[in-house]
Amino acid sequence: MDYDFTGPHSGPMETFESLVRAEFAPKNTFLNTASSGLLPARTVAALHEAVRIRADGRPLDPLFADVEASRAAFARLAGVPVARVAAGASVAAHTGLVAASLPAGAEVLTAEDDFTSVVNPFYARGDLKVRAVPLERLAESVRPGTALVAVSAAQSADGRIADLSALREAARTHGARTYVDWSQAAGWLPLAADAADYTVSTCFKWLLGPHGAAFLVVPEDLGGLTPVLAGWVAGENPWDSCYGPVAELAHSARRFDVSPALFTYAGLRHSLALIEELGVDAVHAHDLALADRFRAGLATLGHAPLPAPGSAIVSVPGIGHRQPEVSRAGIEVSNRAGNLRASFHLYNTTADVDRLLDVLSG
């Protein structure tokens, strides 16, 4: 893969480039981070070491320490105390936790065609009033009696970014709480967890971790959630909570933890460390420059992407069927609802963008 970054190569830019070069060497042109991110070399090495620990029969203490290191790193990225962060396995499970804590008949407001993990657990309850409106009308649709608004910070299908400031103000006006999924934004868009009552994110996309980890940020008062998934790891003293009911739940958001996939966290702590080293602001600038280059190139080809200003995700309507052709050319993108979706991240270059435009022009 050729790293033909543009601009002066000195100072922070040189550090950014050298870190990326050291960590990634994909065998193709990978423009599909919105589906899953590439694993950094340091993460791959950590996964191998975690497997060796198990195979050798060594104590698992270092792997449990990786869970806490990952939690702390995510808390730093989110700008919240670590005590507000719960570690789980998926966004859907965290959504289910929030859904289970709502009273029967509560109104949940969602965005139309949002990702299933963000909305389906509310429908699955069967006794909640779930209302879906267009994303651009979400804030204005909050009304007296709305208990919760659930939305993705960036839409999976087309990259549109929710107006979280307007949503927060509308929710405060009407006494509603907000639940925001950052899975398509954390890692390239500065994460402001305090902009919502509950913030959730999976970690295998823009945060570059293995599958199997997701974090939930709750309010300082723990948000009135019932720890319906609590097992031994949710105890204040986990190793004293292995038998019978948990006598004392953790005093922090850890009471909402589920048993961790230890291999996943062994790798994840290193992926999050890389994001911290690069800096989300630098990643944001890099990713958007590539996305904007792609948008400009599409215009010269007569294609108009779906409007998603300021997003690292670009979806082009009507040409999703060309995804297999693009893949055969060694470029990985997605077909989402008939749209060709390309997503740009820190390991991508201007050459990657131009390569995709060349294929599309053919």
CATH of the domain at 19: 3.90.1150.10
Which pLDDT belongs to residue 1? 41
Domain of residue 345: give its range. 12-30+279-361
Using one digit for the tens of pLDDT, what is the confidence trace for 315-341? 999 999 999 999 999 999 999 989 999
Q: Is residue 143 part of a domain?
A: yes
Whole-angstrom distance, CA of residue 236 vs CA of residue 247: 9
The list of the chain residues with pLDDT below 50 reads 1-10
Same-domain check for residues 262 and 283: no
Same-domain check for residues 221 and 301: no
Which pLDDT belongs to residue 12? 61
Which pLDDT belongs to residue 4? 45
Same-domain check for residues 289 and 265: no
Cα 275 off chain centre by? 13
Q: Is residue 43 part of a domain?
A: no
Do residues 231 and 260 touch, judged by C-beta distance below 8 A?
A: no
- Cα 361 to Cα 25, 203, 234, 328: the distances in Å are 26, 34, 54, 15
Q: Is residue 76 part of a domain?
A: yes
With b for 16 or more beta-carbon neighbours within 10 A and e for fewer, the 319-352 pattern comes to bbebbeebbebebbbbbbeebbbbbbbbbbbbeb
Same-domain check for residues 195 and 337: no
pTM of the model: 0.94
Same-domain check for residues 247 and 305: no
Same-domain check for residues 226 and 244: yes
Same-domain check for residues 344 and 204: no
Q: Is residue 47 part of a domain?
A: no
> How many folded domains does the chain comprise?
2
Whole-angstrom distance, CA of residue 345 vs CA of residue 55: 34
Same-domain check for residues 265 and 286: no
Residues with Cβ within 8 Å of residue 62, at least 6 apart in sequence: 53, 266
Q: Which of 222, 257, 276 is the last residue of a domain?
A: 276
Q: Give the residue from 222, 49, 209, 147 showing the smallest Cα distance to 234.
A: 222
Whole-angstrom distance, CA of residue 159 vs CA of residue 16: 25
Q: Which of 233, 260, 276 is the last residue of a domain?
A: 276
Which pLDDT belongs to residue 13? 65
Same-domain check for residues 108 and 229: yes
